Structure 1
Amino acid sequence: MVGTERDAIEVIEVAEGRPIKTWTAGVPVEAAARQQLLNTARLPFIFHHLAVMPDVHLGKGSTIGSVIPTSGAIIPAAVGVDIGCGMIATRSTLKAGDLPDQLHGLRSAIERAVPHGRTIGHGQRDQGSWRDPPPSVDALWAGLLPGFKRIVAKYPQLHDANHRQHLGTLGTGNHFIEVCLDEAERVWFMLHSGSRGVGNAIGRCFIALAQADMRQHLATLPDRDLAYLREGSVHFDDYLEAVGWAQDYARCNRSAMMAQVVAAARQVIGQPFAIDAEAVNCHHNYVRKETHFGSEIFVTRKGALSARQGEPGIIPGSMGARSYIVRGLGNAESFCSCSHGAGRVMSRNEARRRFTLADQQRATAHVECRKDQEVIDEIPMAYKDIDAVMHAQRSLVEIVHTLRQVVCVKG
């Protein structure tokens, strides 16, 4: 393994594998994540090279913050179980002075409008789902239902996954809704979520099928979560259909929530306002067919954004750090990609061990948000420095707007 510096890219040559090109100058990369990258680079169907974004960190099977180009195969666990997870941001005609002096009411209105979190236990409704979805959500579900029925006809075990009742809901973990101000003090609404329960069920289903199909070969893989589906096989084609549907669901989920957030804000803010620009509604956990280096291939972005020339994107920091609206520079070496956020620098358990509630309160003093034991794992210090991440990928994107959050809703 040899590392060389060229235009802020580290190139790692991999014995019996494809090279790894990383945009990680000035940001930490854990040893376990590097080993995952080496494992993936040695798979026989990797195309050209792996591209590694500056928010890279340890994932399940494949590394979060990596762009995995493949020819003739897809790794379901690389796409993961939060299929189509991504961001949406929209700018309003409001200015900072139009917001209430006390922002708790705005946060509470958003929390009432969008189911979030999760109730664990039997015999009770999950607080993060709808009891009766509103008509706007049911209209979106009606458009998704025919595709879902086609998938369920082949995989009936997916029938009872949370689908209709999760559409237009946030979830838990690092999913969030924020009210932000840009450099001109204009108000933006931004949120992060994916395909919820049904995407999780689809992901787990096809990860298990890939492992079953490769049962005789699992011992030769460095990680069973690198089990793959070969192009042309029945499960491969079915997976493409199912993952495409889940990505559509995720996009609809974000659109539905954004409509609910804007409606909630209108109830609280004392003057009329309009939405004058949608920055983007984009995935950062997904797979699609693209053309790179003259070949049509599959590109799996596991915690990475598409950043084609001129393409808009959203790169959020942590719940206490700034976020960025960006424009892609179309860097071919990165497969026209960039990071999907700051990236964790420690596990959730480590963050809970290391930091206290007082630490969380200090780190988010400038934000109207939850400040309790349940969100300590999302403390800003558990993430990489977003400014260092942005500097490391200056050849991938340019910054269009800088956002700072004033309200944050977590699941």
Structure 2
Amino acid sequence: MPIQTVMTKGKVPVKIYTDEVESAAFQQLYNLSQLPFIHSHIAVMPDVHCGKGATVGSVIPTAGAIIPAAVGVDIGCGMNALRLSIKAHDLPDNLRSLRLFIEAAIPVGFAMHKQDRARQSTVTALAVGLHSILGKHRKLNTMQKKPYQTWVRQLGTLGGGNHFIELCLDENDDVWVLLHSGSRGIGNVMGEYFIALAKKDMGQHLINLPDKDLAYFSEGAAHYDDYLEAVGWAQDYALANRREMMYLICEALRKKLPKFGITKEAINCHHNYVVREEHFGKSVWITRKGAIRAGEGELGIIPGSMGAKSYIVRGKGNPQSFCSCSHGAGRVMSRSAAKKRFDSDDVDAQTRGIECRKDSGVVDEIPAAYKDIDQVMAHQSDLVEIVHTLRQVLCIKG
């Protein structure tokens, strides 16, 4: 579908690929559109919902400034997908033991590996950049216990919230591994630190903003380059985390499944990040807050909830969306609201046929807390085409 709604009250238009937007998200989008450095317009994906400062599902082009809270604190959060060379009939009839085996190999929630598990080449490559950042901002060292050990041992771990590992089947009964994770504890402290620093640097000018969480670093300002260095490092860390985790998952699966290979369809994409791109004749910073790049011919991943389909897509390079599409289904209710409305019996009913936790600890991730993924996909038919439709048979939540 084409753009469904256009907001014109701000300094730039806001072009929205759905007609269902909660009032709080509309206010956030209006606040964003008031900023003086937005280039051309703001694009909003059909999974849009309220976030902190910036709206989840928004694509924000900025010239001469960058907003740390728009990137958020899970810097580089994104998806990784691999198609294996085995079929559905190669999986065991009962997947519970396989789920428990993967959970034993991959720490979830706040947990990390008890010893260094990441490949040394990965650790060495990341350590150089981190040393530079910590040398300039020593407070970051105090925001985590045992910071060096923590970031090394969290490589190849899932995290909590909506992060997940899944085994899925496509329309040909091929087996896929999907995972969703980001930059873990180190990305979180970097995000929080630079969001606070942006507010401090703006000083009295902060009162001129429609929302203090939209504090920004202007090009040439004291910490502008430092933030770009840190956010770039955290994005690299997130990519490496997903690679290491996928490696460990495949190593675990090889012990339980028939011999398999990995196809060329391997995708590793961010959906909370900032990158330099050219749009409408100008080189700008593109912040995708809950959106993935969907350049012409580029493969991406759009997951549903833990009880719905997911999609491998190919971008159409739509310029009005800044070559972007949604990053998932998008929430329709908060975690606290979901916990009040549903219980573990509801989770069991809504995830029937899927091997996953069905206890009270995952009620906030119940499928009913999310938008209908089919409707979200229908609203972005101008942005992507579907390459594979995946249905999960096993899901691990953080």
Aligned to 1:311: 298
Match of 1:180 among 156, 168, 173: 168
1:47 aligned to which of 31, 36, 39: 39
AA of the residue aligned to 1:145: A
* 2:229 aligned with 1:247: no
- In 1, Cα distance between the equivalents of 2:100 and 2:2? 47
Structure 1 residue matching 2:238: 3-state secondary structure: helix
Aligned pairs for 1:266-285 (under 5 A) are 266-269=254-257, 271-285=258-272
Q: Does 1:377 align with 2:371?
A: no
Aligned match of 1:133 in 91, 97, 116? 116
Per-residue deviation at 1:138? 3.7
Equivalence for 1:151:
133
Match of 1:12 among 7, 24, 27: 7
- Superposed CA RMSD in Å reads 1.1
**Contact 1:279/1:313, CA 8 A, preserved across alignment:** no
| Runs of 4+ deviating beyond 3 Å | 6-9, 136-139
- The answer for the alignment partner of 2:278 in structure 1 is 291
Read off the aligned partner of 2:58 and give its amino acid letter. S
Q: Deviations over 1:3-41 (max 9, x none)?
A: xxx9343221124x110000014xx31100010000000
- Once the two structures are superposed, residues 287-312 of structure 1 have per-residue CA deviations (whole angstroms, 9 ceiling, x without a partner) of 01100001000000000000000010
CA shift for structure 1 position 106: 1.0
The one-letter code sitting in structure 2 at the alignment partner of 1:12 is M
Aligned to 2:392: 405
Rounded Cα–Cα distance in structure 2 between residues aligned with 1:331 and 1:279: 23
Deviation at 1:158, TM superposition (A): 1.9
Q: Which moved more, 1:154-163 or 1:382-391?
A: 154-163
CA distance in 2, matches of 1:29, 1:145: 42
**Are 2:355 and 1:363 equivalent residues in the alignment?**
no
Q: Pairwise mapping of residues 320-399 of structure 1 onto structure 2 (< 5 A)?
A: 320-399=307-386
- Partners of 1:174 and 1:101 lie apart in 2 by 27
Does structure 1 residue 218 correspond to structure 2 residue 206? yes
What CA deviation, in whole Å up to 9, does each residue of 1:244-272 have, x standing for no partner? Answer: 01000000000000011111111111x21
Aligned 8 A contact 1:284 1:302 in 2: yes
1:328-361 alpha-carbon deviations (Å, 9 max, x no partner): 0000000000000000000000000111211110
Percent identical across equivalent pairs?
Answer: 59
User: Counterpart of 2:139 in structure 1: which amino acid?
Assistant: Q
Counterparts of 1:231 and 1:348 in 2: how far apart (Å)? 37
1:78-99 CA distance string (max 9 Å, x none): 0000000000000001100000
5+ residue gaps in structure 2? none
Deviation at 1:239, TM superposition (A): 0.5
User: Retained in 2: the 8 A contact 1:279–1:325?
Assistant: no
Distance 1:277 1:378 in 2: 31
Secondary structure at 2:395 match in 1: strand
The DSSP-based 3-state class of the residue aligned with 1:286 is strand
- Separation in 1, partners of 2:17, 2:225: 33
Tell me, yes or no, if the aligned pair for 2:2 and 2:17 is still in contact at 8 Å. Answer: no
Which residue identity lines up with residue 140 of structure 1 in the other structure?
Answer: T
Counterpart for residue 222 of structure 2: 234
Helix, strand or coil for the counterpart of 2:353?
A: coil
Task: Find out whether 1:209 has 2:201 as its counterpart.
Answer: no
What is the CA–CA distance in structure 2 between the aligned matches of 1:165 and 1:157, rounded to whole Å? 21
Cα displacement string for residues 185-219 of structure 1 (whole angstroms, at most 9, x for unaligned residues): 00000100000000001111110110001120122
Paired residue for 1:125?
none
Counterparts of 1:63-82 in structure 2, within 5 Å, are 63-82=55-74
Structure-2 residue corresponding to 1:124: none
Give the Cα–Cα distance (whole angstroms) in 2 for the partners of residues 356 and 298 of structure 1: 42
1:256 and 2:261 aligned: no
Report the CA distance between 1:277 and its aligned residue: 2.6
Normalization by structure 1: what TM-score?
0.94
**Native 8 Å contact 1:326 1:399 kept in 2:** yes
Answer yes or no: is the 8 Å Cα contact 1:319–1:364 preserved in 2: yes
Distance in structure 2 (CA, Å) of the matches to 1:303 and 1:279 = 21
Q: What does 1:157-168 align with in structure 2 at a 5 Å threshold?
A: 157-159=139-141, 160=144, 161=147, 162-168=150-156
AA in 2 matched with 1:157:
K
Supply the AA of the counterpart residue of 2:365. Answer: E
Q: Is residue 138–residue 164 contact of structure 1 (8 Å, CA) maintained in 2?
A: no
Q: Using the TM superposition, give the Cα deviation of residue 234 of structure 1 relative to its aligned residue in structure 2, in angstroms.
A: 2.5
Q: How many residues align?
A: 392
Equivalent position to 2:53, from 23, 42, 61? 61
Amino acid at match of 2:164: F
Deviation at 1:402, TM superposition (A): 0.2
**TM-score, normalization: structure 2?**
0.97
Structure 1 spans left out of the alignment, 5+ residues: 1-5, 119-127
Corresponding residue number in structure 1 for 2:15: 21
